[in-house]
Structure 1
Amino acid sequence: MRRLFWILIGAVIAVFIVLRGRELLERLTPRGVSRQVEKKGHEAAASFGDFMGTFRAAMAQREAELRHELNIPAKND
């Protein structure tokens, strides 16, 4: 009974290692690397877009505050 238990444990570990190995191998192939780079590029572009939106809103708010404090009329763009 103990041998059967350890054989089953070994089989489960082997299957786990094979599946993880395939996943790792896929990530290390040129196609997998290009997918990772593309994904990170999209994430970086999205976070940069969020940053720029926040920056522009804060800049406009601060400009409005300064114009109010200095009694400068608002720009007509």
Structure 2
Amino acid sequence: MFRRTFWFTAGAAAGVWATTKVNRKLRQLTPESLAAQAANKAIETGHRLKDFALDVRAGMVQREAELGEALGLEAAPADRELPAQRGRAALGNTPYNTTHPHAHPTRSYNRNEDH
């Protein structure tokens, strides 16, 4: 009698354990869960890339200082910023295309405009 009770309880426990494992795995494979996992991996990869870029930048600054010292150049500040990106003002303030000889002064020349 005790032997049957033991095996019945062991079988029930194994069934509950297996059902729990299967349900947990099924929840991990839902589209929402997969999307969340992918987003977390992307964020983690972004952090790793950022850390790598910062390490490369620090190495560049260190190497530049070493080269400047070896060549006897004036040492530049170690944490100087990169130059700002140029905008359209650097290209000139011409509102029209000056490369075409018949360009209208108030609008750009587009030969496909009327077609």
Report the TM-score when normalising by structure 2: 0.60
Once the two structures are superposed, what CA deviation does each residue of 1:25-76 show, in whole Å capped at 9, x if it has no partner? 1111111110110111111111111111111111111111111111122336
Per the alignment, residue 19 of structure 1 pairs with 20
- 1:1-77 alignment, distance < 5 Å: 1-75=2-76, 77=80
Root-mean-square deviation over aligned CA pairs: 1.5
* Runs of 4+ residues deviating >4 angstroms: none
**Quick one: which amino acid aligns to residue 32 of structure 2?**
R
Structure 1: state its 5+ residue gaps: none
**Quick one: which amino acid aligns to residue 35 of structure 2?**
S
Task: Percent identity, please.
Answer: 35
Report the TM-score when normalising by structure 1: 0.85
- Name the larger-Rg structure: 2
**Quick one: which amino acid aligns to residue 21 of structure 1?**
V
SS across alignment from 2:72: coil
Task: Name the CA distance, whole Å, in 2 between partners of 1:19 and 1:6.
Answer: 20
**As a proportion of its length, which structure holds more helix?**
1
